[in-house]
Amino acid sequence: MSTTEEDVNPYELLGISIEASEQEIRTAYRQRSLKVHPDRNRGNPDAARKFHELHQAQELLLDPLRRMALDAKLRMKEARKARFAQYDAKRKNLVEELEERERAFKKARTDSEAQKRERWRENERIMDEGRRLREERERELLRREQEREELERKANAATSDLEPPTLGMFFDTGYKIANVLTSTHSGALDTTVRVKYTLSARPELTSAASIGALLSPFGPIDDSSIVLSLKPAPPKKPKRGTALVPFKQIVGAFAAVCASGRAQNGLAGVEVDWAEGKEPELIAWLKKMGKLGANAHGARAQSSSDSKPVATAAQQTPLSADHNTAGPKSQPSSSDAFASFPATFPDLESTPQAPTAMTEVPGLDFESLTLLRMRQAERERLEREIREREAQEG
């Protein structure tokens, strides 16, 4: 150890001379270590340090090479002392001054190294603190971002029910059901109804024309696109029939579905439902928004034996302006008006009209309809811009 070699003389520590043998070194170590052993000096805090110094001194003196270097160093030190004793006072002062400067230099270098180590430890502490603070800020930002996303999700969930659905392209004249059945476009069958009946109850419904004539009072129908299926197929005697009937407007399809199975509307023994098995998104949204009257809800649950009288034409508002210009279709008489269908159901294909005071059932007013059209136009514009940008990039 450097401390043992430089500051402490091992020979003096063990109380032996420089010419002592290995046996004398071991004997001196045994005698002195017993006196300072920590087990015998439990109340002495320096006992362990002294015992350790004795052990280090013995190890050094029992190593031949290290003892040789120590002996040489001690002899040089003794020779230096002898020479120093022969110097005059002036020379002794110079030597002492030189040694003092050397000690000061060593001390300054040691202090400088200690300061460097201290600065390095301080830098490490600061960097660790900086990393800790950065991680805390990142966790806080992540937490805030998650809270913001959660609030946005809740807000979107709260407003998604109020968002109007995307309006798809409904049936028009000449549009075939066969083309729609192979399409994945949402809302492609919004104006189409599925008609089911038994020929024993309605033997006259054996052709597409008879189906169209039956449902024409509810609104204009695309006769050329009606699909009729009789089971079993002729020439066997059919027992039941199924038909897909496309209306030109969703208002007619909705009226037919509401009047399903009602004898007073001419649909006794005829079941009318939406072609896709569920009501269109537009109808569901209008019901949720309260735009359809309460009389439109649960109308299909009424049986044909309902004893309540049907409202007359004088108490009804026409379904839409297009019903008066439907071509060769027969127009509903006063007995053909349907109390289950709201008089204010919007006609999305015609020019919006300002609401009048004659409307008794709350419906889609002019402002709401205009806003709905503006949103649809904005979506179409965005889709057109995206397609043009993709075409340019491609």
Give residue limits of the domains in the chain: 2-86, 177-344
Whose CA is closest to 301, among 337, 245, 340? Answer: 340
| Residues near 279 by beta carbon (within 8 Å), at least 6 away in sequence | 257
**Average pLDDT of the residues in 97-124:** 91
CB 309 within 8 A of CB 263: no
Q: What is 71-93 written as a DSSP string?
A: HHHHHHHHHHHHHHHHS-HHHHH
CA distance 341 to 336: 12
Helical ranges in 161-239 per DSSP H: 177-181, 208-215
Q: CA end-to-end span of the chain, whole Å? A: 79
Give the percent of the chain with pLDDT over 70: 72
In words, the CATH class of domain 2-86 is mainly alpha
Per-residue pLDDT for 102 more than 60?
yes
Whose CA is closest to 251, among 181, 332, 358, 159? Answer: 332
Q: What is the pLDDT of residue 220?
A: 92
Model pLDDT for residues 128-138, shown as the tens digit of each residue: 999 999 999 99
pLDDT band at 284 (very low <50, low <70, confident <90, very high): confident
Pairing relationship of beta strands 240-246 and 227-231 according to DSSP bridges: antiparallel
Model pLDDT for residues 152-208, shown as the tens digit of each residue: 888 777 666 666 776 654 444 344 444 444 444 446 788 899 999 998 889 888 888
Specify the DSSP element, H or E, that contains 62. helix 47-62
Whose CA is closest to 247, among 207, 275, 277? Answer: 275
Average of per-residue pLDDT values in the chain: 75
Q: What is the pLDDT of residue 365?
A: 62
**pTM for this entry:** 0.40
Model pLDDT for residues 8-34, shown as the tens digit of each residue: 789 989 999 888 999 999 999 999 999
Residue 48 structure tokens: 């362990």
Model pLDDT for residues 294-307, shown as the tens digit of each residue: 444 444 444 334 43
**Average pLDDT of the residues in 121-149:** 93
**Average pLDDT of the residues in 57-83:** 89
In words, the CATH class of domain 177-344 is alpha beta
Whose CA is closest to 287, among 241, 345, 243? Answer: 345
Per-residue pLDDT for 88 more than 90?
no
Q: What is the pLDDT of residue 364?
A: 53
- Are 2-86 and 177-344 in the same CATH fold? no
| Residues near 174 by beta carbon (within 8 Å), at least 6 away in sequence | 222, 224, 225
Region for residue 3 given its phi and psi (left: phi exceeds 0; alpha: psi -120 to 50; beta: otherwise): alpha
Q: What is the pLDDT of residue 331?
A: 42
Q: What is the pLDDT of residue 97?
A: 86
Q: What is the pLDDT of residue 7?
A: 61
Whose CA is closest to 189, among 243, 93, 258, 253? Answer: 253
CB 254 within 8 A of CB 348: no
Residues β-bridged to residue 197: 241, 270
∠106-108-112 over CA atoms, to 5°? 115
Indicate the SS3 state at residue 242.
Answer: strand
Indicate the SS3 state at residue 278.
Answer: coil
Q: What is the pLDDT of residue 52?
A: 92
Q: What is the pLDDT of residue 60?
A: 92
Using the structure block, give the residue that is written with the tokens 């579905």.
257
Q: What is the pLDDT of residue 187?
A: 61
**Average pLDDT of the residues in 330-334:** 41
pLDDT band at 273 (very low <50, low <70, confident <90, very high): very high
Per-residue pLDDT for 83 more than 50?
yes
Per-residue pLDDT for 115 more than 60?
yes
Per-residue pLDDT for 126 more than 60?
yes
Residue 98 structure tokens: 């030189």
Specify the DSSP element, H or E, that contains 272. strand 270-274
Q: What is the pLDDT of residue 303?
A: 37
Per-residue pLDDT for 348 more than 90?
no
Residue 285 structure tokens: 């949204």
Q: What is the pLDDT of residue 132?
A: 93
CA distance 81 to 190: 116
Per-residue pLDDT for 333 more than 80?
no
Q: What is the pLDDT of residue 340?
A: 43
Q: What is the pLDDT of residue 24?
A: 93
Give the percent of the chain with pLDDT over 90: 27
Highest mean pLDDT among 17-26, 184-193, 324-333, 341-350: 17-26
Q: What would the 3-class secondary structure string for 281-324 be?
A: HHHHHHHHCCCCCHHHCCHHHCCCCCCCCCCCHHHCCCCCHHHH
Q: What is the pLDDT of residue 168?
A: 53
Q: For the chain, count helices (H), then strands (E).
A: 11, 4
